[in-house]
Amino acid sequence: MSRVTPTLLRALLLALLVTFLLAPETFEPLLRPLVQQNAPVIYAQGNLMSLTLQHLATVFAATLAATIVAVSLAVLVSRPIGAEFLPLSRSLVNIGQTFPPVAVLALAVPVVGFGEKPTLIALFLYGLLPIFENTLTGLTTLPRAVVEAARGTGMTGWQRLVKIELPLAMPVILAGIRLSVVISLATATIGSTVAARTLGEVIIAGLQSNNLAYVVQGGLIVGALAVLIYDGFSAVERRLAVRS
């Protein structure tokens, strides 16, 4: 029973989210108490499903780029030939944590203009650190006996990396990607301040018009997405950990 309940809860949350995105007017009676008299309840300045898909696409693109760069750097510095670049790599991936996303947006807009590009840059920089550190931890804490056995069978360095090291480290790497995605889901909302099409558009509209229903709608959609994606990654990590 304990295994079924969380699954049912996640399925219910997903069903509620999809229903709200496809037919938000269904939930109008629940949100009506949050607005002033005669004020609109459901956000109608843009399609909620479209905004959600654009929000997810932005997060996916930034996370994919951050994963490629962070994993490549971690692989490089975990090899003897690249060990001396570890301090430099750590400095590079820490840039996103040193500068707040708002500051990155402010610096990026004059260079690339308004829209999605500055948001992608901010999310990319912000997502590097957890992926890099987890990948590095996964690659440097592998069972020495397994690595030595692979070397003893005559595997090349590339073969050991692809067939042994990365598969064994994958649960830890995915944990870093999961953290990066969840952070980016929330951070992407500020992209609407520079004209990016994200769910932050709904929240900002609510703040500007003093419409609490809009703020709740945007916040709940982002929160539900974060929970579902977090659980999805966790499930994959557990399966990979069992297989390895």
Averages of pLDDT over each 10 residues, the chain, 244 residues: 69 94 93 89 91 96 96 94 90 84 85 89 93 94 84 84 91 95 92 90 93 94 94 87 70
At 2 the pLDDT is 47
Domains present along the chain, CATH in parentheses: 9-243 (1.10.3720.10)
Q: What is the 3-state secondary structure (H, E, C) of the chain?
A: CCCHHHHHHHHHHHHHHHHHHHCHHHHHHHHHHHCCCCCCCCCCCCCHHHHHHHHHHHHHHHHHHHHHHHHHHHHHHHCHHHHHHHHHHHHHHCHHHHCCHHHHHHHHHHHHCCCHHHHHHHHHHHHHHHHHHHHHHHHHCCCHHHHHHHHHCCCCHHHHHHHHHHHHHHHHHHHHHHHHHHHHHHHHHHHHHHCCCCCHHHHHHHHHHCCHHHHHHHHHHHHHHHHHHHHHHHHHHHHHHHHC
pTM above 0.85, yes or no: yes
